[in-house]
Amino acid sequence: MYGRSAVFAGVKLPITGKSTFRQMAVVVWLLAMFSCLWVGCRKRELIEPTPGMEISERLWMRVLLFEDIRACTLSAPGGFSAVDVATRSRTNFGKKDGAVEVGVSSGRIVVAGKLLGREVVIRPGRPFVVSVNGKRYRGNLRLTARADARSFDVINSLSVEAYLAGVVGAEMPSYWEPEALKAQAIVSRTYGLFIKRSFGAGRKWDVRRTQANQIYGGVSAESATVWAAVNETAGAVLTCKGADGQEGIFPTYFSSTCGGHTQNSKDVFGDSYSALVGVQCPYCRDVAKMSFYFWPMAEFEADEVSEKLIKRYPKLAGLKEIEAIEPFKVSEYDRFGRITSVRLIGKDGKSGYLRGEDLRLTVDPSGTKIRSAACEILKVGDKFRFYAGRGYGHGVGMCQCGAQGMARRGKSCEEILSYYYPGSKIMRD
Ligand SMILES: [Zn+2]
pLDDT for residue 285: 96
pLDDT for residue 95: 83
pLDDT for residue 174: 97
* pLDDT tens-digit profile, the chain (429 residues): 333 332 223 333 333 344 555 666 655 555 655 554 454 444 445 789 999 999 999 999 999 999 999 999 999 999 999 999 999 999 999 988 889 999 999 999 999 999 999 999 999 999 999 999 999 999 999 999 999 889 999 999 999 999 999 999 999 999 999 999 999 999 999 999 999 999 999 999 999 999 889 999 999 999 999 999 999 999 999 999 998 999 999 999 999 999 999 999 988 888 889 999 999 999 999 999 999 999 999 999 999 999 999 999 999 999 989 999 999 887 655 545 889 899 999 988 999 999 999 999 999 999 999 999 999 999 999 999 999 999 999 999 999 999 999 999 999 999 999 999 999 999 987
CA 373 to ligand 1 center in whole angstroms: 14
CA 391 to ligand 1 center in whole angstroms: 8
CA 362 to ligand 1 center in whole angstroms: 24
Contact call for residues 260 and 391 (beta carbons, < 8 A)? yes
CA 218 to ligand 1 center in whole angstroms: 27
Find the DSSP H helices in 103-148. Answer: none
CA 81 to ligand 1 center in whole angstroms: 47
CA 75 to ligand 1 center in whole angstroms: 42
β-pairing verdict for 376-380 and 383-387: antiparallel
CA 385 to ligand 1 center in whole angstroms: 24
CA 402 to ligand 1 center in whole angstroms: 4
CA pair distance 185, 194, nearest whole angstrom: 14
CA 259 to ligand 1 center in whole angstroms: 5
Every domain of the chain and the residues it spans:
2-44, 57-158, 162-287+396-428, 291-390
CA 363 to ligand 1 center in whole angstroms: 24
Dihedral over alpha carbons 399, 405, 411, 412 (to 10 degrees): 50
CA 374 to ligand 1 center in whole angstroms: 12
Closest CA to 223 of 169, 167, 180: 169
Closest CA to 399 of 377, 421, 425, 429: 421
CA 420 to ligand 1 center in whole angstroms: 9
Q: Count the neighbouring beta carbons within 10 Å of the beta carbon of residue 188.
A: 28
CA pair distance 206, 61, nearest whole angstrom: 6
